[in-house]
Structure 1
Amino acid sequence: MSELIPGYTIRAGGIDRALLLKFMQRTYKELFPEQDFSHLARTVEQYYSKETPLWWVDITGENYSLATSHQQLTTQTVACLWAGNAIDQVKGDRYTHIFLLYVVPEYRKKGIGTALMQYAEAWAKKRGDRQIGLQVFQCNQPALNLYNQIGYESTSIWMVKKLAP
């Protein structure tokens, strides 16, 4: 564990698939509240591995326990970033792909998302990658603002067509 920004620590993800799934479901529920996202468990099962790094951001505080009359440290996970590998379809190079960046709403606008992306960029550079890619929904204006502010550019458009049953 190390300090990401003052007051927040970053740690490697380990194998906490349940927490990863919970964070994935929260991010999608915010954008599409009427949908059922139980299928995301398959995404985690299929893509999460030791080759796909996951980082958690925790805030640690002190609570006073009346039951024991002692101060206790409590840790709350407030953000995560899950990365993976992709292949540039034009050049053939491997690059880092961001599967998920999520910051709990009460902790947004504190620099956590930016710091996580900078952390991922440093990790990607260290392993020799020359780019990072991600997908963001057009309706997710706060995410689009963040990515634009830190230098990300659109390079392609993902298009879908609904097929009649």
Structure 2
Amino acid sequence: MQRSYQDIFPQADFSHLAQTVEQYFSSKTPLWWVEEAEGAEEAEEAEGEKKILSPSSPSSPVACLWVGNAIDQVTGTRHAHIFLLYVLPEYRRRGIGTALMKYVENWANQRGDRQLGLQVFQSNQPALNLYHQLGYQTQSLWMVKSLSTEK
């Protein structure tokens, strides 16, 4: 999670994210890891074949997807919410993010969810492009205002 945020905001300190993980990670918030399939490098990466693992952490993951639950504030229904989708920079633009998104859509569908939510930074154009390509639409905007701590 920290690496994901550092890619977008390299100057910031994200040591506090461990507390977020401790607070929200549970058996009800699945985490899937992606690692290269055995022997993929010798076979010209076997056409980029990757293997999705869950729930234990692989020795050298190239991507991960962490999902939790949210409540739709309009309808009151529970739905899956993506906490984190991350692909190592050197593995991006190979279809891994798309494959993970399709995987989680299928997973959410199978458990009866009617929608899948996520939050993305406006400055993260590659992620916005991916989500728009997959049919995601803006439902609400999270707005913030910096406040002065001086009195």
Task: Please state how far the C-alpha of 1:162 moved relative to its aligned partner.
Answer: 1.1
Aligned equivalents of 2:38, 2:60: Cα separation in 1: 8
Task: Please state how far the C-alpha of 1:75 moved relative to its aligned partner.
Answer: 6.1
In structure 2, which of residues 116, 125, 130 is the aligned counterpart of residue 146 of structure 1? 130
Tell which structure's C-alpha radius of gyration is larger. Answer: 1
Identity of aligned residues (%): 67
In structure 2, which of residues 14, 20, 39 is the aligned counterpart of residue 43 of structure 1? 20
Which residues in structure 2 correspond to 1:103-114 (within 5 Å)?
Answer: 103-114=87-98
Task: Please state how far the C-alpha of 1:76 moved relative to its aligned partner.
Answer: 3.2
Tell me which residue corresponds to 1:68: none
Task: Please state how far the C-alpha of 1:82 moved relative to its aligned partner.
Answer: 0.2
**Secondary structure in structure 2 of the residue aligned to 1:121:** helix
Aligned equivalents of 2:91, 2:33: Cα separation in 1: 13
**Secondary structure in structure 1 of the residue aligned to 2:37:** strand
Which residues in structure 2 correspond to 1:5-154 (within 5 Å)?
Answer: 24-62=1-39, 76-154=60-138
What's the Cα RMSD here? 1.5
Task: Please state how far the C-alpha of 1:94 moved relative to its aligned partner.
Answer: 0.1
TM-score, normalisation: structure 1: 0.77
Structure 1 counterpart of 2:61, which letter?
T
In structure 2, list runs of 5 or more residues that go unmatched: 42-57
Structure with greater strand share of residues: 1
The alignment of Structure 1 onto Structure 2 pairs a total of residues equal to: 132
Runs of 4+ in 1 over 4 A off after TM superposition: none
Aligned equivalents of 1:110, 1:75: Cα separation in 2: 21
In structure 1, list runs of 5 or more residues that go unmatched: 1-23, 64-73
